[in-house]
Amino acid sequence: MTKPIGMGLIGSGYMGKAHAVAMQAVGASFNTELRPICEMIATSNPESAARAAKALGFARHTGDWREVVSDPAVEAVVIASPQDTHYDIAMTCFEQGKHVFCEKPLALSLEDAEAMATAAKSAGVIHMIGFNYVRTPATQYARQLVAAGEIGDVIYVRAEHAEDFSADGTAPFEWRYEGLANGNLGDLAPHPINMMLALGGDIESLVAHYQTVHSVRSGKPVTNDDHAHFLCRFAGGAMGYLMSTRVAHGRKMGYCYEVQGTLGTLRFDQEDQNALWLYKHGDAPEQQGFKKILTNPAHPDYVAFNLGPGHGTGYQDQIIIEQKDFLTAIAMGENRYPTFEDGLVVHQVVDAIYRSQASGGWESV
């Protein structure tokens, strides 16, 4: 038996639209117990909110997010607004006893992230953060393989997230180039950091360096980083490396990883998100080599979108899977990965990167 749940959405941009589509598709895709009712959407002003409500299928609209959070018909809130708004919105939701899904990064600072994670736990509501790439069927399956010991003990994790939307140094100054949260370390790096934690476990320490490649745009100084990298040690003994950049010409969605174990290796590239590459040490010599595994109905969450092997899933499907997990957590009354605590750990890693840049040496996480 299905039950309606009133949803509020804050933000109607790239991610706001994706979440609105997911709200309307998740019930049909996954036959969820809870079925979203698009009650109210908030944007930065009443005019844009009216346009967004009409385009995205919301019953009501407002230019003040506080009206969404306080509305009695809204039981759960999706925060898809800029990072500098996350803290106030989430904390108000917790005061009102509303369930919260928040896009990454959790907050502008480590201190705010710590406060949000503490408040989320104290409020006793469902809280989730939007690391969507870790939810592809291929990466969910990779996590299962690692957890089951299929590649033995993890000894090395290599990760990268490379894009080129800021590679043109003559492009005009915009919001992306002001404030740490809008830089590469606030925008792109949290995704592969989350993936490294999901596949390798807790990061114990790291040594890092980051750089601003195009330091001036339109005559204005750029105040955040363009690319960064670090070496790390995992608490379980493995080693690791991460590279994240927004200035890599030709790279569009280069969210990639390689997990090396004592019995095999896994490889993945988000630009080919429906394939996982697996090498098993125990294969016969004449059959050794990486095997390409095409995602299919046997992999997590795939069958909700396709019955045919190799037909594949897309970006929007990741957001629908997030919505399914959020609704399932609410229905069961039990948080599901990744929570605000998982978002906090990513902040702690980024904080260690900043400290390592300043000290020039290894820093603990």
Encode pLDDT of 93-102 as tens digits.
999 999 999 9
The whole-model pTM stands at 0.96
The DSSP 8-state label assigned to residue 105 in this structure reads S
- Angle at the Cα of 346 (from 164 to 140), degrees rounded to 5? 80
Which architecture, in CATH terms, is 3-133?
3-Layer(aba) Sandwich (3.40)
Residue 267 parent element (H or E): strand 264-269
The chain-wide mean pLDDT, for the chain, equals 97
Q: What is the pLDDT of residue 44?
A: 93
DSSP sequence for 200-247 = H--EEEEEEEEE-SS-EETTEE--S-SEEEEEEEETTS-EEEEEEES-
Query: Averaged over 211-221, what is the pLDDT?
Result: 97
Q: How confident is the model at residue 181 (pLDDT cuts 50, 70, 90)?
A: confident
- Asked whether the beta carbons of 200 and 259 are under 8 A apart, the reply is yes
Average pLDDT over residues 257-270: 98
The CATH number of 137-272+274-313+344-359 is: 3.30.360.10
Residue 229 binned pLDDT confidence (cut-offs 50, 70, 90): very high
Sign of dihedral through CA atoms 13, 15, 20, 21? Answer: positive
What type of residue is 256? C
Domain boundaries, the chain: 3-133, 137-272+274-313+344-359
Q: Are 3-133 and 137-272+274-313+344-359 equal in CATH topology? A: no
Contacts of 1 (CB under 8 A, 6+ apart): 33
pLDDT, greater one: 209 or 180: 209
Mean pLDDT of 146-174: 97
309-350 per-position pLDDT tens digit? 999 999 999 999 999 999 999 999 999 999 999 999 999 999
* pLDDT at residue 111 is higher than 90: yes
CA distance 93 to 184: 28
Query: Model confidence at 213, in pLDDT bands (50, 70, 90)?
Result: very high
pLDDT for 269-317, tens place per residue?
999 999 999 999 988 899 999 999 999 999 999 999 999 999 999 999 9
Return the pLDDT at 161: 98
pLDDT of residue 95: 97
What pLDDT was estimated at residue 1?
85
Query: Are the CB atoms for 84 and 60 separated by under 8 Å?
Result: no
Burial of 300 (0-12, 13-18, 19+ CB in 10 A): middle
